[in-house]
Amino acid sequence: MKKIILNFWLVNLLISILLFFLYKIVMMETKLTDATFLGNILYIIDILLNLGFSLIYLAVMVLGSLPFFLNLIEKIRNNSFLSFLAFSGIPLICVIYLGTNVLIEIYQYNYSFIIRPLVFLIVYLLCTGVEFLIFRKKIKSLKYSHSVKM
């Protein structure tokens, strides 16, 4: 069981790193819109904010993958809801929090800096959801194979 959970955690970590690099590429593709001095300063501030958000994003995704190891506890592993929270709980909370902030900022300012990280976090949440479904299928097949052997 430890090997299965470690494999899922490593896959999740690789997905996190891949999404982090994709986020950095998307962030680098932003173009300078205003060539004035103030436009340059705002562009630099935007880059710094995006760098800060990308580091926070990476930290949240790495920390969000650590609860995978809670599935080593049989009570959590056998409960679908608790197992789902171990897989996707932290990313789900972050999506709800960031989504609420984006809606508030768009309502107040018609723009939000958090839109890009939110999109990538939703993609990460979908990936952890798929991983959870694969994990549950593997757990059920292991239970079935152990019950047949006995």
The tokens 């705002």 sit on which residue?
42
CA proximity to 17, closest of 84, 64, 69, 72:
64
Question: DSSP secondary-structure letter at 113?
Answer: T
Residue located via tokens 């995006």: 50
Instruction: Note the pLDDT of residue 32.
Output: 59
Q: How many domains does the chain have?
A: 1
pLDDT at 150: 47
In whole angstroms, how far apart are CA 27 and each of 98, 101, 119? 18, 20, 13
Q: What is the structure's pLDDT at 146?
A: 67
- pLDDT for the residue numbered 122: 84
pTM above 0.85, yes or no: no
pLDDT at 30: 65
Per-residue pLDDT at 134? 92
Stretches in the chain below the pLDDT threshold 50: 150
Q: Are 133 and 100 in contact (CB under 8 A)?
A: no
10 Å CB burial of residue 50 (0-12, 13-18, 19+) is: buried
Residue-range definition of the domain harbouring residue 79: 2-149
